[in-house]
Structure 1
Amino acid sequence: MKKLVVLLLGVCALFSVLPVLADSQPSQYAQVSADERAAVATVNPYATQIAIDTIARGGNAIDAAIAAAFTLGVVDGHNSGIGGGCFILVRMADGRIFAIDGREMAPAAATRDMFVVDGKANPELSRTGALAAGIPGSVAAFDKLQKLGGKLTFREVILPAADLAEKGFSISPALAERITATADNLAKFPASAAIYLDKNNKPLSAFSLLQQKDLAATYRSIAKQGSSYFYSGDFAKKTGRWMAANGGMITSKDFANYQVKMRKPIVSEFAGYTLYGFPPPSSGGMHVAQILNILEQFDLNKLAPAERYHLMAEAMKFAFADRAHWLGDSDFTKVPLSIADKRYAKAIAQKISLEKTTADITAGNPDVDIQHLMQKHTTHIAAADLDGNWVAITSTVNTSFGSKVVIPGTGVVLNNQMDDFSAQVGAANAFGLVGSDANAIAARKRPLSSMSPTLVFKNGEPVMTLGAAGGPTIISQVVQTLLYALNDSMPVEKAMAQARIHQQWNPNLLFVESAMPVEIQQALQKKGHELKIWPSMGASQAIQLRDGKLVPVAEPRVILQNSTK
């Protein structure tokens, strides 16, 4: 148990900052275009500014979101980049809604027990080095999104990020911390060390200049040749050669075989709104809907604050127990979509007491409960325009700097998304999450994710786009923002500033932000919760339509962290 807590806290330390303060929004993170017809919110000022500049050059929200994503691969490469994957939910101006799956894929040579050594899963193999990486999907997904609804060309949205990579930028304190924390592993790979460490193999310091000329060249090659450069051209060949020489499984053929998947969104109702979430291999859409469905079985407006937090925690426990048992890539395993049904939520709600915690929670059986239905650290980008384009992109390389591998000559950090599979039933991944055979490793399979890009509609019209970063806390962040914004009618910036909790069933702890009043913490303890206090958790982004105007909102915790260093 203690080991799992250390894993979860260690990986999510990226998101641990100071207590939540005001909900004001500095413009560099969340901006509205000059004509007030578009808005963008990201975790980084460079990404937001380049996105807004893209709007000024004639682009729409789709162009802006893609430009932001490529820029984040430059300035926020410890969280995301083209060496990773993404989930995209988009509502087009013509009303069409797409769920674009750009999740990483296991190589063809991957096997069920590839990380098992002497009968036990070896976490180092799935987190660092050649075996840890899956086939990246972000470039293909962004290309697909651009072709579906962008106004500019792929080249036009990529080149500003390429210019920034070549020119360089001042390393933020947050990025410097991540480089320092991962320096020992980065030093194992010469191409990684050449970018992030100095000549003495010491981590680059805050406010020093970080130039990434190889990454700029890779971006320019993609801009010129399209995604084919990445999947069937020089990048795929360089990666295949490096993998062959360093004990990896990925081949250039794996890149050529990668395909974007077009998924059917998870659609649910809450507080008079319609929610669109991302389906498996994301667990986000399923469990955001499930938790909100459970909460809706109670009269939320009559509950005291401690009772509300208790109810949220119990609902999260039941959802994460189901996640561990049922969820995986739906192309490989049967995932009961009835998990997101209100009848199943009602059955779970009947097991919850408002007076004390529920003991011995296990996965439910939605197939039995609702048979009739069975017949039929990551970053988030929010972008929208008044033409009707609404975009939610959650993108990741998994833990900080992914596998720590940069393919020589490319500047691209490869993900370590293979760690999101269940290397062995009951073995925890870097976030302390366990899984079953539903999420077992298999050739060309996509690992389970907590990413939760979400679109919200009222009377058929989009009113909000949101998502978050932070491992499994992504689900709990999105749930709480939606609860406060939709059920309690809070402005999103106020909803985000509320003290957060997180309960993921295993470990059986209630993670609580220190900003929560002590008397509420004590009341939760009296109900049987074992608390683990975090300074703060999460990194959410959202855009809300309010009084006909787009209001972008960036995570106040991240803004506070960067403004106090």
Structure 2
Amino acid sequence: MFRRICLLSVAIACTGAPLQAGKVEGYAATVQPLATRAALDAMADGGNAIDAAVAAALTLGVVDGHNSGIGGGCFLLIHLKDGRNICIDGREIAPLAATRDMYVRDGKLDESLSKTGPLASGVPGAVAAYSYAIKEFGRLPWEKAFTAGIRCADEGFPIDLVYARKLKATAPELALFPASKAIFLKPDGSPYLEGETLRQKDLAKSYRELAAQGAEWFYARPFPQATQTYMKEAGGILTANDFATYRIKLREPLVTSYHGWQIVGFPPPSSGGVHVAQMLNILENFNPADVKPGTPEFVNRLTEVMKLAFADRAYWLGDPGFVHVPRGLFDKAYAKELSTRVSPGKVTPVPDHGTPPDWQNNYFEKHTTHFVTADAEGNWVSCTATINTAFGSKVVIPGTGILMNNEMDDFSIAPGVPNHFKLIGGEANAIAPGKRPLSSMSPTIVEKDGQVVMAVGAAGGPTIITQTLLALLYTLDYNMTPADALALPRFHHQWSPDQLRMEKSTSPDLVKQLKTLGYEIELIEPFGGTQLIRKTSDGRLTGASDPRVPGLAAPTR
């Protein structure tokens, strides 16, 4: 049983009045009740699902700041009530001074430099994405989105179990940077504990200025200069010009089908959309009724499919503005060919990537949190936001309270060198100035007969892809409720290392049977954080927040 902390009473105190009884007007699910509350309040104030999503994102940047924030990036997948699907790419980009060998010292690669410190950060894109979303598709003024975040930063909020655990784990690195130490650690250098109040006065001030002045404050005015000054002194390479030249990308949604549902995902530089679609296409060649969740047959089938997809990911995926990413990766015929390599009851070696059709010519156009919102008018948002690993680069820009990402570690910093998540990348994901690093973020929307029936996505590095896949299969193929689908023990295989990772709550008998088949299994602590909203057959909205995090899924009333 996963521990769930209900902070609803705290959320009410921090962000507004209790939910009002009456007609359901919308729904939100996030990893933190305070952020869910902010989303619901936005819709109660007359906003739509887009306003709600941005309010949730900005609140998460305060109360779940170890996972995401305005010092990071995001992928926003929006379904508008008029039927359009919009992909807003707010992914970070490499600084213009970035080079392939920027982490080499005295002829040797120093892997720590891409994970911690001033050289680890790309140019943040979250603010630009949220600003564009509000301006183009929201109903409320930009400054309204900051209300809950400012209050929680100014007055403080009680640290939850997950926040406290990650704070303890990263305290030694946070202590290396004075501005970070002053915020996240006590005067004696010890981390704050679960239930203790964390206040972020500098971040509240930055939020007020950003709310009043708009995204220009972040990209053209004081913040870029403050960042450049710090980076120059600390050995970083980010400059004010990097911020001034940042632009979001509007991407073409990646659309495929699965057993009559239309699956809408995010295209590269998300690898998630491509490989969720690819794995669903492979699985479409099998009858889901032949295997049941929780059985060795089910895990065997999915693990073999995961291996094939992640082998392709390692070789083919990168920023489509810099490398050719074949659209054939989610071609149905290619999936059928790959399905022949999946043999029931067998562990099949996958020595290398596959070769999708027309790979020479047909390309895509040149720590993390997930949240979903939906409103009564038919607007839906599935958004994944990140600063990468816990507390990102561990660097707070002095005087701003803004914690910077460490997304440079999502590049292939050297051939054959795994990143923090043990992912191997190829030439397609090598560092280049202005390039977006490859991401596993997988915001997904499911449609049936032209109507959205579900929004889903996850947090947790490369497991985002397999979490999203499992949530889709459990709900679509096996008709599980959102809560039941998210509660099942998870498993993950990413091709390299050749290891099946399973949560410790997995049945010992199941583990034993899989070992007998030949899998090397690592039992790990519960992982990930999936959020899901689904429309029932009678038109109601329901949903769930992952029981592994202290989240909240709730309707407006």
Q: Which band: TM-score by shorter chain?
A: over 0.9
Could you tell me which of 329, 350, 353 is aligned with 2:319? Answer: 329
CA RMSD of the aligned region, Å? 2.2
- Of stretches 282-291 and 512-521 in structure 1, the one that deviates more from structure 2 is 512-521
Name the SS of the counterpart of 2:548 in structure 1. helix
Name the CA distance, whole Å, in 2 between partners of 1:255 and 1:457. Answer: 37
Which runs of structure 2 are paired with 1:142-153 in the superposition (5 Å)? 142-153=130-141
Q: Which amino acid aligns with 2:407?
A: Q
Q: 1:86 — aligned with what?
A: 74
Say whether the 8 Å CA contact 2:265–2:442 is kept in structure 1.
yes
Percent identical: 48
Task: Confirm or deny that 1:193 pairs with 2:184.
Answer: no
Say whether the 8 Å CA contact 2:32–2:551 is kept in structure 1.
no
Which runs of structure 2 are paired with 1:512-551 in the superposition (5 Å)? 512-546=502-536, 547-551=538-542
Name the SS of the counterpart of 2:344 in structure 1. coil
Say whether the 8 Å CA contact 2:7–2:33 is kept in structure 1.
no
- Of stretches 343-352 and 447-456 in structure 1, the one that deviates more from structure 2 is 343-352
Say whether the 8 Å CA contact 1:468–1:540 is kept in structure 2.
yes
Q: 1:8 — aligned with what?
A: none
Q: Report how far residue 518 of structure 1 moved.
A: 2.4
Name the CA distance, whole Å, in 2 between partners of 1:205 and 1:372. Answer: 55
Q: Report how far residue 21 of structure 1 moved.
A: 8.6
Structure 1: segments with no counterpart, 5+ residues: 1-18
Which runs of structure 2 are paired with 1:268-283 in the superposition (5 Å)? 268-283=256-271
CA gap 1:221/1:27 in 2 versus in 1, 3 angstroms:
closer
Say whether the 8 Å CA contact 2:412–2:426 is kept in structure 1.
yes
Could you tell me which of 84, 87, 91 is aligned with 1:99? Answer: 87
Could you tell me which of 187, 193, 196 is aligned with 1:205? Answer: 193
Name the CA distance, whole Å, in 2 between partners of 1:374 and 1:161. Answer: 40
Name the CA distance, whole Å, in 2 between partners of 1:485 and 1:271. Answer: 13
Could you tell me which of 389, 399, 410 is aligned with 2:389? Answer: 399
Q: 1:341 — aligned with what?
A: 331
Say whether the 8 Å CA contact 1:32–1:552 is kept in structure 2.
no
CA gap 1:501/1:222 in 2 versus in 1, 3 angstroms:
same
Task: Confirm or deny that 1:456 pairs with 2:458.
Answer: no
Q: 2:15 — aligned with what?
A: none
Could you tell me which of 236, 251, 260 is aligned with 1:248? Answer: 236
Task: Confirm or deny that 1:556 pairs with 2:544.
Answer: no
Q: Report how far residue 142 of structure 1 moved.
A: 0.3
Q: 2:472 — aligned with what?
A: 482
Which runs of structure 2 are paired with 1:415-454 in the superposition (5 Å)? 415-454=405-444
Q: Deviations over 1:7-52 (max 9, x none)?
A: xxxxxxxxxxxx4599x99978999875311000000011111111
- Of stretches 156-165 and 478-487 in structure 1, the one that deviates more from structure 2 is 156-165
Say whether the 8 Å CA contact 1:32–1:38 is kept in structure 2.
no
Name the CA distance, whole Å, in 2 between partners of 1:257 and 1:374. Answer: 25
Say whether the 8 Å CA contact 1:379–1:395 is kept in structure 2.
yes
Name the CA distance, whole Å, in 1 between partners of 2:36 and 2:497. Answer: 36
Q: Report how far residue 341 of structure 1 moved.
A: 1.3
Q: 2:255 — aligned with what?
A: 267
Name the SS of the counterpart of 1:366 in structure 2. coil
Q: Which amino acid aligns with 1:549?
A: R
- Of stretches 548-557 and 475-484 in structure 1, the one that deviates more from structure 2 is 548-557
Q: Report how far residue 79 of structure 1 moved.
A: 0.3
Q: 1:4 — aligned with what?
A: none
Q: Report how far residue 299 of structure 1 moved.
A: 1.8
Q: 1:175 — aligned with what?
A: 163
Name the CA distance, whole Å, in 1 between partners of 2:119 and 2:101. Answer: 12
Say whether the 8 Å CA contact 1:282–1:450 is kept in structure 2.
yes
Name the CA distance, whole Å, in 2 between partners of 1:230 and 1:318. Answer: 41
Q: Report how far residue 307 of structure 1 moved.
A: 1.2
Name the SS of the counterpart of 2:397 in structure 1. coil
The runs of 4+ residues in structure 1 deviating greater than 4 Å are: 19-22, 24-34, 370-376
TM-score (norm 1): 0.92
Q: Deviations over 1:317-360 (max 9, x none)?
A: 11111100000000000001111111111111111211211114
Q: 2:371 — aligned with what?
A: 381
CA gap 1:336/1:356 in 2 versus in 1, 3 angstroms:
same
Name the CA distance, whole Å, in 1 between partners of 2:364 and 2:278. Answer: 20
Question: Between Structure 1 and Structure 2, how many residues are aligned?
Answer: 541
Name the CA distance, whole Å, in 1 between partners of 2:394 and 2:291. Answer: 46
CA gap 1:495/1:477 in 2 versus in 1, 3 angstroms:
same
Q: Report how far residue 173 of structure 1 moved.
A: 2.6
Q: Which amino acid aligns with 2:496?
A: N
Structure 2: segments with no counterpart, 5+ residues: 13-17, 553-557
- Of stretches 32-41 and 309-318 in structure 1, the one that deviates more from structure 2 is 32-41
Q: Report how far residue 519 of structure 1 moved.
A: 2.4
- Of stretches 433-442 and 485-494 in structure 1, the one that deviates more from structure 2 is 485-494
Q: Deviations over 1:395-449 (max 9, x none)?
A: 0000011000000110000000000000001100000001011000000000000
Q: Report how far residue 213 of structure 1 moved.
A: 0.8
Task: Confirm or deny that 1:47 pairs with 2:35.
Answer: yes
Name the CA distance, whole Å, in 2 between partners of 1:340 and 1:310. Answer: 21
CA gap 1:367/1:445 in 2 versus in 1, 3 angstroms:
same
Say whether the 8 Å CA contact 2:324–2:363 is kept in structure 1.
no
Q: Report how far residue 280 of structure 1 moved.
A: 0.6
Q: 1:36 — aligned with what?
A: 24
Name the CA distance, whole Å, in 2 between partners of 1:380 and 1:360. Answer: 31
- Of stretches 514-523 and 490-499 in structure 1, the one that deviates more from structure 2 is 514-523
TM-score (norm 2): 0.93
Q: Which amino acid aligns with 1:548?
A: G
CA gap 1:355/1:206 in 2 versus in 1, 3 angstroms:
closer
Say whether the 8 Å CA contact 1:317–1:361 is kept in structure 2.
no
Name the CA distance, whole Å, in 1 between partners of 2:113 and 2:382. Answer: 32
CA gap 1:79/1:482 in 2 versus in 1, 3 angstroms:
same
Q: Which amino acid aligns with 1:455?
A: I
Name the CA distance, whole Å, in 2 between partners of 1:159 and 1:50. Answer: 8
- Of stretches 461-470 and 177-186 in structure 1, the one that deviates more from structure 2 is 177-186
Q: Deviations over 1:89-131 (max 9, x none)?
A: 0011222211000000000000011112344432110011110
Name the SS of the counterpart of 1:536 in structure 2. coil
Say whether the 8 Å CA contact 1:121–1:427 is kept in structure 2.
no
Say whether the 8 Å CA contact 1:392–1:454 is kept in structure 2.
yes
